[in-house]
Structure formats: structure tokens, C-alpha cells
Structure 1
């Protein structure tokens, strides 16, 4: 007799999984066939809502190993002690497409890393680009609406995409990056990852620095020709997912080296760009990369849904030694990501195996849908208390920071959206410039209003006169005189 007995969800062995129970050979199906009812009811509920953004993704397990002790900058234990290893899980994703969309589209890629540290989980929720399209979270719903489908036609809408971008010149740097060669990675293994935002590291003495994360692929950066990417999108829409899984399955473990840029706190007040503006980068000459460690992916998920689909990440999942910055986009994400998970996966999403910390959890959060724990001490469910319950540890408070000013809706006071976009264009080889211009022209041709095209051409021209002129020529238009 086999030991692999098929059972119901309550563990009872199933005697017949081929035939429904009926009243006679041709009679109606009986409601007392509880195995049938359970199968059908559960099948109807096998999906949770897909992510609004980053719906299509792939993931893997691995470890992070410290190669350069940075304890002088941060007390975060996962970054301290050469040779120290921390288990981690990563999820790569496209941004705009649905769960069944193609992997090889031109789109930023999500790069979300969960470290299971002894001080709890730490998430770095970034992208494969060091910048983003907008710099204030209040614009995020509008931006994503333009990347999604038209509410009437249910088709992608280039009019909305370029109308929004042309009205939001802060997007120009990211648009230039996206339309360049790195807009379509060859594989998930051959792209870099970035924390994008500015974060604050604090050491054991309470001294702080501003930092940016850079994950540099050890496989080298490789990109796809748009024609090849389009062909793959039709022939194998899961190309990137398949490549990552097979590489790990075959023992070809991909890796990334983590670096940080470090900026003294006082430099934030004098740097030539606002260091908290996520549409800008810091010069590597001003703040060189400092090696921290190496991330290796060496284990595939056992179950895609349980691990990749139900994995939840938030930039607010922090550990002692890592704090946030005044980056307005980051500040909005601190709420939005965790709130999305409470809606999509459930209020107790952190108790699922893929999200559960490896460190002890002891708090007074109780009950809710699908809770799996009830605290360490059933007699202590509040704090402070007299029964030996968990207590706060003041040394783990987030670092203090000064605030000044009047509460109001205030824009960033740096509005140079053109210098860094122009620098990026000028850094490209002549061949890549041509490809970038062709990509932009091809993407803008379907836009119906010349008004939108001309406004966007003006932005490209302000970044670099040649850049704007070539795009205008490709669209059969002239650079507006007022821009010149």
C-alpha cells in the first residue's frame, strides 16, 4: 500500500477522486460529496488579486555574504563582519504588465530583496534603474494609470503615457534610461539592481550617513535587441522566468556584488542636486562605490504561488542601523506597499513562510484573517505590563533628525530635470544614441496630438540639442522655436 495517500484538506484519505457521488448511475450529484464540494470551492479561490504593479515576476532563494565590513557606517548586523552570511529571497518583475504578460517588454524591472536577519527582515525594494519617473508619491496613481489599460478600450494608451511624461519633465532622466539599451535586459541575471532611493545608515555610536544601494551583476550587463525581444515575447513570453529557473537548476548560480555610495549628512544641504530626489543620481566621482558584499542565488522556489506570488516587500521593513530619508517618493511607499499586501494577501501576510522572519517575533498583534500565531505568552497581550511581556529596547530607536518649516504642500526646490538626462545621452556611444532615438520615435509615433509630441521634444532638446533635433526629425516635426 502506498504511503502517498490523497487526502482532503482536513487530512482524511480520499477513496475516489475520479467520480462524483450521485443518486444512482444517472442521478443528480449529491451535496453530501464533501470532497467534490471542497475541491470546487477551493478551486474558485485559488488566486489572490494580482499586484497592481510588478504583477509578472520570478524569484529565487540565496544568501548575502559580507566581503567588506562597513560597521563604521551602520550597526545593521547583516552588513557587519567579513564572511557573515544572511539568507535572502529576491523577486524580479516587470512593472506595467499583467500576470500573464511577456517578460521581454521595454519596462523597468523590479529588484526586491528580502534579507532574513537576526534582527528581523530587511527589504530593499528597488528597480534595475537607479532613478524613477516621478519624485513625489502623490503623482504615483496617475503615473501608473497611464501605464495601464484605457478604461474603455482596454488597450495600452501611448497618448496617456507621453501626455503624462510631457507634463512631468522630472521623468526625462528615467525615460532616456528606459529608451536606451538597458530598457530590455537580456536576462534577469544580466542586469544591475538599485535601491534607487536615498537611505540613512546609523552606526553603533549614533553617527549617520546618507547612502544609495547598487547591486552590480557579476554576469555582466547584457541587453536585448528590440526585434529579438519582440520575437521572444510572442514565442516564449516567460523567457526571463525560464532562464533564471534553469540557470539555478543547472548549478549556474547568478550573483551580484553590493556597493553603496556614502554621503556625509551635511553634504545634503550643499550638493548640486537634491540628494533625496529619486529622479537624480549621485556622481560616482563625488561619492565612489564602496563594496559591501555578494548576493548569490542558489535555490529555486518549491512552489511559485506560495513563495513568489505571496512574497511581500516594503521599503518600510527596516532593521536597526537603517533609516529612511526625506525622499518624498520613499515616504509614500512606506505606507503604500505594506497596505497593498494587507489588501492583496491579507492582514497576516507576514506570518506566511516566505515572509516570516527567521528572528523571533514577539508583539501584541492578535487575530485577524488566517492568523497562525497567538504570541509567546497567552497571558500577556498588552504593553506595558507586569507579567514579563516583551519590552521596548531604546537602543533600537530610529535615529533622530531635525525638522523645520511650515506644514504645507511644498515642491522640491531643485528643478533641473535636463542636465542628468543630457549627460546620460552624451555618455552613450553613437550607436546607442541612434538606437535610443529610434526607440523613442517608434514609441511616440502612435501619439495622436502633435501638441504632446512637441512638448516632449522640447524636453529632449533642453537635455541635449542634438537629442531633441533627431527625435523631432524622426517624427517629421520641428523643434519648437520657444524652446530654442
Structure 2
């Protein structure tokens, strides 16, 4: 039976194509304020957009399930991992990072992987990327990083000078730059893409023991990428190529599947490991910490309405369940505030009540109530305040939930409270050099990497900035470099690619200057 058109309040109206006017013989007319249908239609139209995400605005989304495939009870008490074969419903949103919602999704960019697991102990959000490392390890740099990848405040255009000026001053991100400008920076489809936690998390158990972990999500059909030329061509011909590819695959029943693994590190290993395990510009080598499978992810249902299902979805790494906990990673700590704060701005203080964000288990949180757009019964007459420790209130008793074990005595070794400015050293280039060697195993990949860098860098108009990217800064300012070496104060932000490989900077310079000439 076909529905009957009504106003939002449910009152039916006979025509949805007319407006009430005071007409004259020449065909003109004055619109009357009594035309509620017209006024409501126009007023809602002007308000139907919510603020787009400041990053990760362009995305595809789908529903599916996570299945526990292996016994994990020795490392975590998380309920969704306590039984082999146990399935948990999930919502997945895969996005580009820098460009706007209407941009081309094949542009060279990191891709975000935001996933909500509707577990039987509440919602767990995985807010990952398709690269295992990140550009920065200090959260104070995060806004500047993203601004440097966005539009220039004067020209309102993406600006290569901004991009490279930021990165030569933040060489700790050189490993991520190798991922971005390799073939991996332009995935051929979201189905052929891996994802990684980047951050260090903790698996915890009810006895308060824990392990540090990193998560790896590996596609079952293999990684496949586009060349720069293919990605640019698709950006012009089909800017929604990746979004449509995922939608059509699921629609046809060609469900994408990923295997989910963790690397596991003991607290004792963390104390003596050669890299800071909370530094998300570094990976843990698989030779030291092999992958251990915990589950399988299958996406099998498209959204029914993109706005309600995907655009209104809110993800945060602060959404955790018992058995899963944060580490002392400063970037993670900052994101645990920033993401819910962004959701409150975009969607309102009661964004958790929206169907796409609502937990699949009963929620009792009477200390968060009222506010705009509250869709619940607002906990009725239940008290909205805390009484004493032993007797919460005289009028209402509720059980205490399971301890989430987010605090552990062990992390006292991580350091003391102090002001911090990130420093640079040889370790920041070691893993990038390793990836450069890996690219050399794929015929032509190193040449494509240099071509991708040169194509982007050729838009930099400042000669000295280009020199710093190549690594020629030391030759332009030899006396200053010598003074730094004499005092032991080598400034690794003065040059970039020559620290990775002594010939790489020269090769990038040759390719870039040839494009400029």
C-alpha cells in the first residue's frame, strides 16, 4: 500500500506540487504565510545540511559482521572475542582524509577506516587508517598537519608549499610519506585495501593483567593499487569510483572479506624495546611480534539511507568495552577527547541516541540527559545526581558495571608529567629506509615513487624549500651544518629524503627539476 503524503506532524495534504498564492490576471502571485507546506519545505531545505567532518569528509559505508575465529581468552576478556564463531554486527565507514565531501575519492591520500562494533557489552569503535604509521606523534601538531594538506587561506587552493614546508619541519613523518607516495597512496578499490590501528592499544583481562597490541586488517583478495595516472584519470571521469565500487560489489553479493590480526607485546618487552611503543610513526616488525589472527570481517549490507546510516555515524577511539583499553600513546589520548567533541559539534550533545550510533544493549546513563534533540524518555523520574559511594541515592539503586581496566600500575614507567617537544634522530628515518628497500622488490615501484613525489613537489615555488626536501639544505648552508655537527646538535629537519638514502634526494631533485624546467 502506497504511503499518504503528510506534513512532518502527520497531517495529510492533497498536493505536493502546489503553493498557495494570491494570483492576478498576468500570472504573478503573492505567496501567503498560511501555506505551511511551502514554508516548512523551504525552511527544512535551508537546514538539511549538517557540518561536514573537518577531516574524513568523503566516505563509503556499509554494514556487516565481525566473527571471532581464534581463541583469544589468554590475552583478553573482551566478550566479542570470548568464543570461536561468535559474531558481532558492525558498521564500517572508509574515507579519504583531507579533501571535502564532494571531492574525488581516488586522490592521493591516506584513507580512514572507522568501524563500530555493536558488541554485547556496548559499542567498540575502531578508528584506524589504511597505513600502519602516521605523520606525527605529538597531538599539538595534528591541526597544523591537516591544515597544511588542505586549502591555502588566501588562494583557497591546495598548496604544495604548505604541504612540504610542514613535512620538512616534521621529519618524524618520513615513513608515512613513503606510504603516501608509493602505489599504496592510491588504492584500486576499498576492497583491495588493508587497515591498521596505528596506535598501541591494550588487551586486558579480569585479573588486571594486560598485553600491548596493534591491529592489522588484511584483505582476503589481496592489495591492489592504481598508478598516479590511473588515479588522476578516474578522478576526472568518475570521482565517486571507490564509493561506487564497494556499493556495487555488496549489491551483487560479492561481499568483501578481511582477516583481522593483532601483534602482541608483553609489558616487560615494552620496557626494553628499541623503539618507543607509543610512537605511532613507528611499526613493530613482524619478525619481533608476529601476526596472530583473532577474527574475520565481512561486509554484506549497503546502507538504506546514506545520511542516517553513514553521515550521522560518529566514531571515537574512546568508545571501548571491557577487555580493550587505551595505552599511553599521546596521539590516542588526544583523539579520545577530540572525536567525541567533534561529534557533539556536528550532531548535537545527544548524538549517541541516533539509531546508527545507538548501542545494541540497554543503556543507563542518567547523568547525561536533557540537551537538544533528546529522543529518549530522559530516564523519567530517576535521579540525575550521585549520592554516596555505598548508597548512590535514596530513590534509585543501580548495579555497578564491570571495571574496564583502563588504568594499570605498569604504565608508571612511561614517564612523569612534563612539557614535551618532539625531537628527531636517526631512528625516525630507519623504518622509511626499510620501506624504500621493500619498494625496490617490486619492479618499477621505486621509479613510480620518485615520479609521484616529483609530480607533487614540482608545484613548490620556493627553491630553498625544494632544497630541504631533496636534502641539499646542508650544501646551501654548509657553515651552519658544520657548527651543528661540532656541537652534536644535528638538525634533522633541515633535510628530508637524503637521510633515508644518500642517492634518493638527488634522484628526486633530478626528476622534479626536469618537470619545472
What TM bracket, shorter-length normalisation? over 0.9
Q: Is 2:398 the counterpart of 1:395?
A: no
Find the counterpart in structure 1 of residue 483 from structure 2. none
Matches within 5 A, 1:155-174: 155-174=157-176
Offset of residue 195 of structure 1: 0.9
Find the counterpart in structure 2 of residue 378 from structure 1. 381
Q: Greater CA deviation, 389-398 or 436-445?
A: 389-398
The one of 339, 348, 355 aligned to 1:346: 348
The answer to whether the 8 Å contact 2:20/2:35 transfers is yes
The one of 95, 99, 110 aligned to 1:93: 95
- 1:262-301 deviation digits (Å, cap 9, x = unpaired): 0001212211111110000000000000000100000000
Supply the distance in 1 between the matched residues of 2:193 and 2:405 (Cα, whole angstroms): 35
Q: Is 2:19 the counterpart of 1:20?
A: yes
Find the counterpart in structure 2 of residue 480 from structure 1. none
Find the counterpart in structure 2 of residue 7 from structure 1. 6
The answer to whether the 8 Å contact 1:362/1:375 transfers is no
Supply the distance in 2 between the matched residues of 1:79 and 1:414 (Cα, whole angstroms): 39
Supply the distance in 1 between the matched residues of 2:175 and 2:438 (Cα, whole angstroms): 13
The answer to whether the 8 Å contact 2:208/2:405 transfers is no
Find the counterpart in structure 1 of residue 309 from structure 2. 307
The answer to whether the 8 Å contact 1:461/1:468 transfers is yes
Find the counterpart in structure 2 of residue 452 from structure 1. 465
Q: Secondary structure at the match of 1:258?
A: strand
Q: Secondary structure at the match of 2:213?
A: strand
Find the counterpart in structure 2 of residue 184 from structure 1. 186
Q: Is 2:507 the counterpart of 1:470?
A: yes
Find the counterpart in structure 1 of residue 221 from structure 2. 219
Q: Greater CA deviation, 23-32 or 147-156?
A: 23-32
Supply the distance in 2 between the matched residues of 1:376 and 1:241 (Cα, whole angstroms): 40
Supply the distance in 1 between the matched residues of 2:317 and 2:285 (Cα, whole angstroms): 24
Offset of residue 472 of structure 1: 2.3
Supply the distance in 1 between the matched residues of 2:397 and 2:21 (Cα, whole angstroms): 56
C-alpha RMSD of matched pairs (Å): 1.5
> How many residue pairs are counted as aligned between the two chains?
476
| Structure 1 alignment gaps of length 5 or more | 478-484
The answer to whether the 8 Å contact 2:204/2:405 transfers is no
Offset of residue 475 of structure 1: 3.0
Find the counterpart in structure 1 of residue 126 from structure 2. 124
Quick one: structure 1 residues 398 and 406, their matched pair in 2 at CA, closer, same or farther if it must change by over 3 Å? closer
Supply the distance in 2 between the matched residues of 1:254 and 1:14 (Cα, whole angstroms): 45
Q: Is 2:122 the counterpart of 1:113?
A: no
Q: Secondary structure at the match of 1:87?
A: strand
The answer to whether the 8 Å contact 1:56/1:98 transfers is yes
Q: Secondary structure at the match of 2:116?
A: strand
Offset of residue 376 of structure 1: 4.3
- 1:406-442 deviation digits (Å, cap 9, x = unpaired): 4321245774211000000011124101110111111
Matches within 5 A, 1:203-218: 203-218=205-220
Matches within 5 A, 1:232-243: 232-243=234-245
The answer to whether the 8 Å contact 2:200/2:212 transfers is yes
Offset of residue 345 of structure 1: 1.1
Offset of residue 457 of structure 1: 1.8
The answer to whether the 8 Å contact 2:349/2:372 transfers is yes
| Structure 2 alignment gaps of length 5 or more | 387-391, 472-495
Offset of residue 161 of structure 1: 0.1
TM score, norm. by length of structure 2: 0.89
Q: Greater CA deviation, 144-153 or 458-467?
A: 458-467
- 1:456-479 deviation digits (Å, cap 9, x = unpaired): 2222111112322311222349xx
Supply the distance in 2 between the matched residues of 1:52 and 1:413 (Cα, whole angstroms): 28
Matches within 5 A, 1:203-282: 203-282=205-284
Offset of residue 375 of structure 1: 4.3
Offset of residue 79 of structure 1: 1.6
The answer to whether the 8 Å contact 2:172/2:424 transfers is no
The answer to whether the 8 Å contact 1:202/1:208 transfers is yes
Find the counterpart in structure 2 of residue 432 from structure 1. 445
- 1:342-365 deviation digits (Å, cap 9, x = unpaired): 001111111100000001110111
Supply the distance in 2 between the matched residues of 1:372 and 1:400 (Cα, whole angstroms): 37
Offset of residue 392 of structure 1: 2.6
The answer to whether the 8 Å contact 1:64/1:85 transfers is yes
Supply the distance in 1 between the matched residues of 2:449 and 2:145 (Cα, whole angstroms): 22
